[in-house]
Amino acid sequence: MSTASSENPRTAQLAVSGMTCASCVARVEKVLKRVPGVESVAVNLATEKATVHANGAVTDDQLVAAIAKAGYEAAPILPEAAPAAAPAAFDREFAAVFAAAVLTVPLLAPMFGLALNPWLQLVLASVVQFGFGARFYVGGYRAVRAFAGNMDLLVALGTSAAWGLSVYQMFAHGGMTEHLFFEASAVVITLVRFGKWLEARAKRQTTDAIRALNALRPDKARVRDRDDPARERDVALADVRVGDIAIVRPGERVPVDGIVREGRTHIDESLITGESLPVAKEPGARATGGSINGEGVIAIETTAIGAETTLARIIRLVESAQAEKAPIQRLVDRVSAVFVPAILAIALVTLAGWLLHGAGAETALLDAVAVLVIACPCALGLATPTAIMAGTGVAARQGILIKDAQALEQAHAIRIVAFDKTGTLTVGRPSLVAFDAAPGQDRAEALGLAAAVQRMSEHPLAKAVVAAANDAPRFEASAARAVAGRGVEAKVGARRVAIGSARWVAELGAGVPASLEARARELEAQGNTISWLIDLDGAVLALLAFGDTMKPTARAAVERLASMGVKSALVTGDNEGSARSVARALGIPSDLVFAQTLPDDKARVVAQLKASAGGIVAMAGDGINDAPALAAADIGIAMASGTDVAIEAAGLTLMRGDPALVADAIDISRRTYRKIRQNLFWAFVYNLIGIPLAAFGLLDPMFAGAAMAFSSVSVVTNALLLRTWRAQAGAVEEARAGKPITRPA
C-alpha cells in the first residue's frame, strides 16, 4: 500500500437500509468510525444515506461490511446518481397495517360485553403479535445488543407481557376464563406500525425533493463539433466538456453553466434569483444550467459541468441542510431507555418479593405480569400519534398539508418566519404598476399605442401592458419586430412606435421630460422595472413601470404572527429597493430584511437567524431557489402555487398559497403539541399510580388491563378535541363572501 493512496482523502456515500430511529443512526455512525482510516461520518435518517470522509486506503467494501456487522444493509452510491424511486415495499407496509387492523377489530368485542371464543382470540392475537409485530422484536434485539433502550423494545416487552398473561390464563383455567388481554397487544402493534408507516412516507417524500432537483438537468445537450464547428450534434450531458459551445433554442432548458457567446434572448432565471421577470442576455452574459431560454437562439461556452454547476450546488445544499437537521427526540424515546429497565426491575422485584413473602408462584407471577401489563405502552404509544393524526387531519381540511410529525411537533416553537417575496408575499406575476404620459400627451391614447405594440408578444411584460389597456383606445400594429437588448418596435398607422429601455432612449437622442425622470427614479427606488414608450421620430410618449402586486392577506399575516410572538423576516433575491418597499408596506423591521440573496445566501441567512432566534426558524417560499433555505430552516413552509421542488423540500405546504395560513399552521401545531403533552402526562400518571398498586398486589391483572384500556380511551378522546379547530384564514374568506362565521369556544 503506497503512502499516497492511504493519505489521499476521499468521500464515500452509502445507501443504508434497516434504520428505524435515531439510535440506529448512532449505531451505524459508531461502527463506521471504528473502521481504520475513517475521519468523520454523517448518517442521514431521512435520506437513509451515510457520508464517510476517510483516507484513500478505506474501501467501500470495508464500510459495507462494518454496517452489515451492526445488523443493517448498505450499498455504495455512485456519483451523480439520482435517488431511486420509492419501492413497492411502501405499499406493502400499508397493506400490512390494514391487515393487522382487520385482525385486531374482533379482539375488541369483549371490551363491549360481546363474547369471543378464547381460542379464536389466541389465533388472531398471535398472528398480529408475531407476524405483524416481528419488526419490533428485531428492533428491540438490536437495542439490547447495543445496551440501549428504544420504543421498539418497549412495544415488544409490553405487548409480549399482555399476550403472555392471556395465554397463561387460558391454559390455567382450561380456556374458559373471560379475563384475557389479547386486544391490548394487538391494538398497540397495529397503531405503532401505522406510525412507522407514516414515518416511512415522510422519508420517501424527503428524497423526492432531491429527485425533483435532479429532474431539472437535461439528459442531452446540443454542442458544436470540436473538429468541425459548422456541425452540431446531440451528446449526453455527461460527455459535455468545459469549453464546448452549447446551442440552446427557444423554449429549451439551458444544459450547462456558461457564457453567452452568440445571440440575444431573455432567460427565465427564477431558478437562481427568484426574480419573476425574464433576464435579457447578450454576448458576455452568464447563463445558468436549468434555466429556460426565451425567444432567441444562443450559443453558450461551457464553464462548469457536473458537480460544479449551480444546479448541482443547490442539490448539495439541500442534501447538506437535510443532513444537519437533528431528528425530533420524542419524550417517549427519551424516557424509554430508563423506563424499560426500570419496569423490568420492578417486575422482578415484585416476583421475588412475593415469593420471599410466602405467596404462591401463581400469585407472584400474576402480580409481576400485572406490573408489565399496567406499564404496557398503550397510552404512551397512542399519546403522540393520535394527537398528530387529529391535528394533521383537521389542518388538511383547512388547507394546510403537514408532511410529517416532526414538522408538526417543531412548528409550535417557531420564533421567526423568513418569507421569500416573489410568489409568497406577492402574486409573482409582473403587472403594470404605473403608466405616466409625457406632458402634452393623452394618457389613454398612449396606453392604447403601447398595447398595440405589445399585443402580438408572449413576453410577460407585454401581457401586463395588454391586460392594463382594456379601457384604452384600440389600435392595430403591423411590422412588429424585437430589437435585441433594446425592446420592440412596430408601425401603428403612419407612426413608428417602440417600447424599450433607457439605453435605447439615449441612443435615439429622445429627450425625457424632467417630471418623468424624477418619477422614474422614484419608481426604480421602489424596485420596479422601467420601460419607455417612444415615438421613433425622437419623442418620449410615456413611462411604464412594471412590478409585482402584494397578496391581499400578506400584511394581516405578518400582523397576526406578531400577535403570536413570532417575528417576520424578508429574504429575497430581488433588489434592495423592492425588498425595502415591501417590508415597509408589511411592517417588517429593516434589520430583518435581506435582499439580493442567491440560494446559498438564503441558506446562510436562515442559519444566522437560527443562531440568534432562540427558537425554531421557519422559511416560507415557493420557488426552486428557495429549496436550500427551506431545507436549512427548522421548518420549511411551501406555497402549493409554487414549484414541486419547494413543496417537497418543505415540511408544511399551504394549499391556498395564502400567507395568512402560516399563522394558522403555527396555531394548529401549538394546539397539537399541547395535546401531546397532556396525553403523555396522563399516560405517565396512570403508570405512576398503577405500577405501585400492581407491585403491592392491589391491582388484579383484569383491572390492570381495564385501566390500561381506559387510559387509551382518555388520550384518544382528548386528541379528538382537535377536530373542532378552524383556520382563521378560512373564516376571513367566508366573511368576505358574506357567510356567517362559526367558531368553537
Task: Show Cβ contacts of residue 707 under 8 Å, excluding neighbours closer than 6 positions.
Answer: 374, 686, 690, 699
| Residue pair 151/189 in contact by the 8 Å Cβ criterion | no
* Long-range contacts of 472-475, Cβ-Cβ distance < 8 Å, separation of 24 or more: 472/444, 472/445, 472/447, 472/448, 473/444, 473/445, 473/448, 474/448, 475/448, 475/449, 475/451
Helix (H, G, I), strand (E, B) or coil at 11: strand
The DSSP-derived string for 423-476 is TTTEEEEEEEEEEEEPTTS-HHHHHHHHHHHHTT---HHHHHHHHHTTTSPP--
Catalytic residue among 244, 367, 404, 420: 420
Closest to 111 in 3D by CA, of 175, 167, 172, 180: 180
Exposure string of 554-568, with b = 16+ CB inside 10 Å and e = fewer, is: bbbbbebbeeeebbb
Where helices occur in 526-659 by DSSP H, the ranges are: 554-563, 576-586, 599-613, 627-632, 644-649
Interatomic CA distance for residues 339 and 345, integer angstroms: 10
| Residue pair 95/193 in contact by the 8 Å Cβ criterion | no
Catalytic, 268? Answer no
> How are beta strands 220-224 and 232-236 bridged, if at all?
antiparallel
Q: Which helix (H) or strand (E) holds 704?
A: helix 701-720
| Residue pair 255/220 in contact by the 8 Å Cβ criterion | yes
Backbone φ and ψ for 564, nearest 5 degrees, come out as: -90, 0
- How distant, in Å, are the alpha carbons of 359, 360, 365, 371 from that of 352? 10, 11, 9, 13
Q: Please give the grid coordinates belonging to residue 90.
A: 411502501
State the Cα torsion 534-536-539-543 to the nearest 10°.
Answer: 10
Half-sphere exposure of 432 (CA within 13 A, CB side): 22
Closest to 216 in 3D by CA, of 239, 244, 237: 237
Catalytic site positions: 420
